[in-house]
Amino acid sequence: MEYVAPNSLDKAAEIAANARGSVRYLAGGTDVLVQLRSGLHQPSLVIDLKRIPGMLDVVRTADGGWKIGAATPATTLNAIKELRQSWPGIVEAAELIGSTQIQGRASLAGNLCNGSPAADTVPAMLAAGATVTIVGANAERKTLSIDDIVKAPGQTHLKPRDIVASINLPARSQKGADAYLRFIPRTEMDIAVVGCAVNMSLDGETVSEASVALGAVAPTVVLVPEAAECLLGTRLEDEAMENLSMSCRAACNPIDDKRGTVEFRISIAGVLAQRAARTAYQRARERQ
């Protein structure tokens, strides 16, 4: 196995394009290194992305959004107060990944590209309407939505040589907020049995925009537009919350495993959606 650490995205794209055999990118390495050691993947080439300028940076864009370099670890996100204020749900999802040590390395891009339906930050990014800037084999740039990338357990719609350059978060409306919650069988260091992200904007006290995404209850993380619809025009009255829960439960197509039965996961999805919606709503009200 060969290891390279190029110092530009174009160089990385060129190396990847000319590589024979399989290629793995190294962001934080918290998935890649485990997979290499267990023999799950035996790539011919590992391309370390951390020496590329911008890969570890978080930049406020001119329109008030955020550009998060693809190898930026969770701890960096948490250290940026304005980012925590704009996208608390994204930051709290990243803060749930593994332990303090893992968070010192684990990136949003790696979480996305690993393709796990239980990935904690992917529902939060999906609900946020995040986009992904990609450098393709000929160094061409394109931008895709998170939804364009999720495909199946352990797989994405990225082409084998595509490199994620950044995760992009839109500007946050003044009266908006998000929240992410997950259920795990113990207090930490486990993967989600169910995850739920809710993102919303308010007009006065009324929900004017909403999106809801679920993790670990289907072969991919899923956006649930019917659930978001239940919140629009409401102040989270009881009926809206019951409809939200019902829509989320209906969107589930989970597996049955040692962490939770199908029935349990479906039931918890409804409960988490209600709690995440209340948290996002409260945060949005406090921003007004």
Q: Which stretch binds ligand FAD (CB under 6 A): 57-65, 114-122, 200-208, 227-235?
A: 114-122
Dihedral sign, CA of 19, 25, 29, 33? negative
Q: Which is nearer to ligand FAD, 98 or 254 (CB)?
A: 98
Q: Which stretch binds ligand FAD (CB under 6 A): 1-9, 18-26, 170-178, 216-224?
A: 18-26
CA distance 219 to 153: 6
HSE-CB at 102 with a 13 A cutoff on CA atoms is 17
Q: Length of the chain, please?
A: 288
Q: Which is nearer to ligand FAD, 38 or 286 (CB)?
A: 38
Among 9, 13, 27, 217, binds ligand FAD (CB under 6 A): 27
Among 9, 13, 30, 231, binds ligand FAD (CB under 6 A): 30
- If you write DSSP's letter for every residue of 81-95 in order, what string do you get? HHHHHH-HHHHHHHH
For 204: left if phi > 0, alpha if psi spans -120 to 50, otherwise beta; the answer is left
Query: What radius of gyration, in Å, describes the C-alpha atoms of the chain?
Result: 19
**Is residue 32 close enough to count as binding ligand FAD by CB under 6 A?**
yes
Q: Which two tokens stand for residue 183?
A: 């259920």
Q: CA angle 128-33-216, nearest 5°?
A: 40
**Is residue 196 close enough to count as binding ligand FAD by CB under 6 A?**
no
Q: Which two tokens stand for residue 250?
A: 């209906």
Among 16, 83, 88, 107, binds ligand FAD (CB under 6 A): 107
**Is residue 113 close enough to count as binding ligand FAD by CB under 6 A?**
yes
CA distance 113 to 19: 19
Among 31, 58, 172, 223, binds ligand FAD (CB under 6 A): 31
φ, ψ of residue 223 to 5 degrees: the values are -85, 140
**Is residue 180 close enough to count as binding ligand FAD by CB under 6 A?**
no
Q: Which residue is nearest to ligand FAD (CB)?
A: 110
Please, what is the minimum distance in Å from the beta carbon of residue 248 to ligand FAD?
20
CA distance 260 to 46: 35
Among 119, 210, 269, 280, binds ligand FAD (CB under 6 A): 119
Please, what is the minimum distance in Å from the beta carbon of residue 7 to ligand FAD?
15
**Is residue 97 close enough to count as binding ligand FAD by CB under 6 A?**
yes
Q: Using CB under 6 A as the criterion, which residues of the chain lie in contact with ligand FAD when the complex forms? A: 24-32, 34, 49, 70, 96-98, 102, 105-107, 109-111, 113-114, 119-120, 163-164, 191
